[in-house]
């Protein structure tokens, strides 16, 4: 059995935005959120992370502090948000009234212009996580990533329809745990504590 913990990055510099693959660093508050979320003595065996700065910097810090192996996988980057990259919800609403509501109602069909297709995003995240889990039998892994990656992980492992994926709220520094054995996954907790 592999235990898979998924940790969302903390608050980035610039606050809440449809950041996507914009490479903003963590704020001091974001670092504090992630330190608090990982304060428990969890027996992680290694860390895999998105290479984006808001995940990379903390993953490097935690790996050094705990003496854990660390790898980066570009497939764990956040979804590309196209023309919404770096914009706040207010910016988007001012430019295209109703666009966010349409996106939340239909995240598959109402993508922002130039955005990565949700099926493509799911495929790349699923491939990364399947390979990581297959290479890690009986390990307890920590994946430092993004809200969208956690949604895709839950959709993939728990067979949640993509149209419902954005109904899952993922707070800054949220920790989610899955247990995976014999091709079957179970959600232990979401946005909770070990």
Residue 91's pLDDT band (cuts 50, 70, 90): very high
Domain range for 17 is 2-190
The dihedrals phi and psi of 21, each to the nearest 5 degrees, come to -100, 10
pTM comes to: 0.96
In angstroms, what is the C-alpha Rg of the chain?
A: 16
Q: Which of 133, 129, 134, 136 has its CA nearest to residue 154?
A: 129
Q: What is the pLDDT of residues 157-166, one digit of tens each?
A: 999 999 999 9
> Do the Cβ atoms of 28 and 54 come closer than 8 Å?
no
* Residues in the chain, overall count: 194
Residue 193's pLDDT band (cuts 50, 70, 90): low
CB atoms within 10 A of CB 72: 17
Q: Which of 106, 109, 87 has its CA nearest to residue 96?
A: 87
3-state secondary structure of 191: coil
Q: What is the pLDDT of residues 145-160, one digit of tens each?
A: 999 999 999 999 999 9
Q: Which of 135, 177, 190, 129 has its CA nearest to residue 156?
A: 129
User: Which residues lie closer than 8 Å to 132 by C-beta, 6 or more apart?
Assistant: 4, 48, 73, 141, 143
Q: CA of 22: how far to CAs of 47, 54, 161, in Å?
A: 22, 10, 27
Give the CATH number, domain containing residue 173. Answer: 3.40.50.1240
Count of domains for the chain: 1
């Amino acid at each position: 059995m592999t235990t898979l913990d998924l940790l969302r990055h903390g608050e980035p510099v610039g606050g809440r935005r449809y950041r996507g693959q914009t490479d903003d660093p963590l704020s001091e508050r974001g670092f504090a959120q992630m330190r608090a979320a990982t304060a428990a003595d969890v027996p992680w065996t290694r860390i895999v992370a998105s290479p984006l700065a808001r995940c990379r910097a903390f993953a490097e810090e935690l790996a050094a502090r705990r003496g854990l192996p660390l790898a980066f996988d570009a497939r764990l980057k956040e979804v590309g948000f196209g023309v919404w990259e770096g914009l706040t919800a207010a910016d988007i609403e001012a430019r295209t009234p109703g666009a966010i509501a349409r996106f939340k109602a239909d995240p598959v069909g109402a993508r922002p212009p130039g955005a990565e297709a949700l099926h493509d995003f799911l495929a790349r995240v699923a491939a990364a996580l399947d390979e990581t889990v297959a290479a890690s039998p009986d390990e307890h892994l920590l994946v430092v990533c993004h809200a969208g990656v956690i949604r895709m992980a839950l959709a993939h492992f728990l067979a949640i329809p993509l149209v419902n994926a954005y109904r899952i709220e993922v707070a800054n520094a949220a920790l989610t745990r899955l247990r995976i054995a014999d091709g079957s996954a179970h959600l232990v907790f979401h946005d909770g504590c070990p």
